[in-house]
Amino acid sequence: MSADRETENNQQSIEAAEGKTLIRPALAPVHLGNTAETPAVTDEDQTQAGGSGGVATDFARNIPFLRVIHPREFTQRIRLNEGTMIIGRGQNADIILHDSQVSRIHSKITYSGGKIFVEDLGSTNGTLLDGRPVKLDSLTIHSRLQIGRFVLKAEFKDPDEISYDDKILAAATTDSLTGVPNRQWLLEQGVTFLKAFKENKRLLSAVMIDVDHFKRVNDEYGHQAGDQVLCDVAAVLQKNKRELDLLGRYGGEEFLMFLPHTQHDEAEMVCQRIRSAIEEHVSEFEGHTIKVTISVGVASESFDALHALDGLIRRADDALYEAKREGRNRVVVSQ
């Protein structure tokens, strides 16, 4: 087991495909959850020049985004491509807002000809633009779009600015050694999953993974070899997880995963596949070939039993310890 779980001080970044996010192309559903109170929709200091009519801009190279400005914890930008994106609470939406005030199919955003349009799709609680209900209207960089408890605004970002933002984001959310998300980001996303899954009556599984006898690798081959092994393990985990699964480095030689919509038997199958992939992988370092195995603990909860994320993680960790006691290189599911 890692002795320095609590001492990890990694710098990080994020991916953005699966409910993943700050800057990401609109290729997979964007998941956002919320518990904060709804604010009044008010103007804030403008950071971009623009006019009032659709946002066709003079900066032809700029890239359009929707940015979440409330709740504050979801400081996320959603890239808009030419075409239409559906916003709603249902799983078929392109931008999924986990909020009971949002209809399953609530509204749609269309980006065409350098302009952004919003259209309400017969939602129960309506779509508000600058505080007024709208059926179809253009969205400017001065507008505030409110859907349920979420408030969004349009932005056009210069590619160079996006590149800089990506670097800042990477430093804050990604493990500097392995390149997977860090513990802080992963736990924040886990809390969001917990709230959203309770509201939408979904299952959630947590998976704790530990590299077996990792100290031996460091002792026999050196710490640089150990670093290489951790990078290889992270890469194999990333390759073999499912698209919607969240993976991060928890500390030392431990990794944590969240598996949405997954009960314990399916989670065990996923983890057995991952365990086998790690067992078959060979790391190479300065002429040495190094093979390692992993022990895995799995815990699953239904929506009515989900109360706190730390309890679910603790159960997965207990199952991991049981896997160690039983001989390592195995998956144990918490009962």
| E-assigned strand segments in the chain | 23-24, 30-33, 63-70, 77-79, 83-88, 95-98, 107-112, 115-120, 128-129, 132-133, 136-139, 145-147, 150-157, 204-211, 246-251, 254-260, 283-285, 288-290, 294-301, 331-333
Place of tokens 């559906």: 86
Q: What's phi and psi for 306, nearest 5 deg?
A: -75, 120
Which helix (H) or strand (E) segment holds residue 325: the answer is helix 309-325
Cross-strand bridge partners of residue 232: none
CB proximity list for 86: less than 8 A, separation 6 or greater: 92, 93, 94, 95, 105, 107, 108, 121
Among the listed residues 44, 199, 243, 253, the single catalytic one is: 253
20 vs 241: CA distance, rounded Å: 14
| Distance in angstroms (rounded) separating the CA atoms of residues 212 and 229 | 12
Q: Is 155 a catalytic residue?
A: no
3-state secondary structure 240-287: HCCCCCEEEEEECCEEEEEEECCCHHHHHHHHHHHHHHHHHCCEEECC
Determine how many CB atoms are found less than 10 A away from the CB of residue 94: 18
Q: Give catalytic residues, as residue numbers.
A: 253
